[in-house]
Amino acid sequence: MKDFLTVASDAARAAGLLLRENIQGKREITYKGDINLVTEMDMRSERVVVEMLLASFPGHGIIAEEETKIQTASGYQWIIDPLDGTTNYAHGYPCFSVSIALEHKGEVIAGVVYDPMRDELFSARKGAGATLNGRAIKVSGTDRLIQSLLATGFPYDRKTSEKNNLDYFHDLLMASQEVRRDGSAALDLCYVASGRFDGFWELKLKPWDVAAGSLIAREAGGMVSDFTGTGFSIHSDELLASNGRIHGALVDILQSVRKRGGSRTP
């Protein structure tokens, strides 16, 4: 059988190349909501990834963001975001990625995230560490929140839901060195893994946004949890990732916001 990570890396590179080649020019955009858009390139990228994975692993299940849902009894399931950062892509803002993870019996065992604009391939195998273009990476050594560069994102339903991250954003912006909103959660997690960001939090992400990136962050020595600092599942509504050293300080602030009823969390 072919190596999972090799096939996933090849698929991410092929889809990423297609995205990069087509970033300029007109494209068809449809809307899933008033600000949640999808381009024809999301679909084309997904088809490339799905075709390449199925060519090597025809018996595996697949769940991909746009249109592919294949269930099998194999115990293996690929989780794919064919274009993470669609809003950026549609505006020609060069920050987006292809994210591919493999789950075995409910546990993520391999993941790749590819940034075609920088030709950066982040990958990890469970228990074997994380790499960027083949070289081992690890999280930053920053241990003070005020010296930390953080990242976050805001859910598409922010105009209609009070659970919208604005209060968390306010308090963490005041407590840290800076907060970025780059627009690709999969890359945000890889940037925590490679020490470029010290921490990242977001609400309402989907399994395809976080499955590969959360494994990569953990395998690089990072911590990934919910906002209480305890459990984490790729199906969870809350994600907090960090270098581990500032995790407690991040949890304290997220919990203090929650206690005063901010960014309404039930």
**CA dist., res. 75 & res. 170, Å (int):** 42
116 sits near ligand IPD (criterion: CB under 6 A): no
81 sits near Ca ion (criterion: CB under 5 A): yes
Name the residue whose CB lies closest to ligand IPD. Answer: 153
Tell me which stretch binds ligand IPD (CB under 6 A): 137-145, 181-189, 214-222, 237-245: 181-189
**CA dist., res. 138 & res. 132, Å (int):** 10
Site of tokens 């990958």: 123
Binding-site member from 153, 199, 222, 244 for ligand IPD (CB under 6 A): 153
Select 192 or 253, whichever has its Cβ closest to Ca ion. 192
For residues 189 to 218, the per-residue mask of contacts with ligand IPD, x marking binding by CB under 6 A and - elsewhere, is -------------x--x---x---------
In order, the DSSP letters of 204-220 are S--HHHHHHHHHHHHHT
132 sits near ligand IPD (criterion: CB under 6 A): no
Site of tokens 């991040």: 250
Please report how close the Cβ of residue 171 comes to ligand IPD at its closest, in angstroms.
Answer: 19
Contact at 8 Å (CB) between 65 and 41? Answer: no
202 sits near Ca ion (criterion: CB under 5 A): no
Instruction: Point out which residues pair with 178 in neighbouring strands.
Output: 149
- Counting every residue written for the chain, the total comes to 266
**CA dist., res. 185 & res. 264, Å (int):** 22
Please report how close the Cβ of residue 63 comes to ligand IPD at its closest, in angstroms.
Answer: 14
Please report how close the Cβ of residue 169 comes to Ca ion at its closest, in angstroms.
Answer: 19
86 sits near ligand IPD (criterion: CB under 6 A): yes
Tell me which stretch binds Ca ion (CB under 5 A): 9-17, 73-81, 223-231, 256-264: 73-81
Select 170 or 206, whichever has its Cβ closest to Ca ion. 206
Select 57 or 250, whichever has its Cβ closest to ligand IPD. 250
Mention every residue, 6+ apart, whose C-beta is less than 8 A from residue 48: 11, 14, 15, 18, 82
Name the residue whose CB lies closest to Ca ion. Answer: 84
Binding-site member from 182, 198, 209, 238 for Ca ion (CB under 5 A): 209
184 sits near ligand IPD (criterion: CB under 6 A): yes
84 sits near Ca ion (criterion: CB under 5 A): yes
Q: Whose CA is closest to 28, among 81, 75, 90, 84?
A: 90
Question: Which chain residues interact with Ca ion by CB under 5 A?
Answer: 65, 81, 83-84, 209
- Residues in the site for ligand IPD, rule: CB under 6 A? 81, 84-87, 153, 155, 183-185, 202, 205, 209
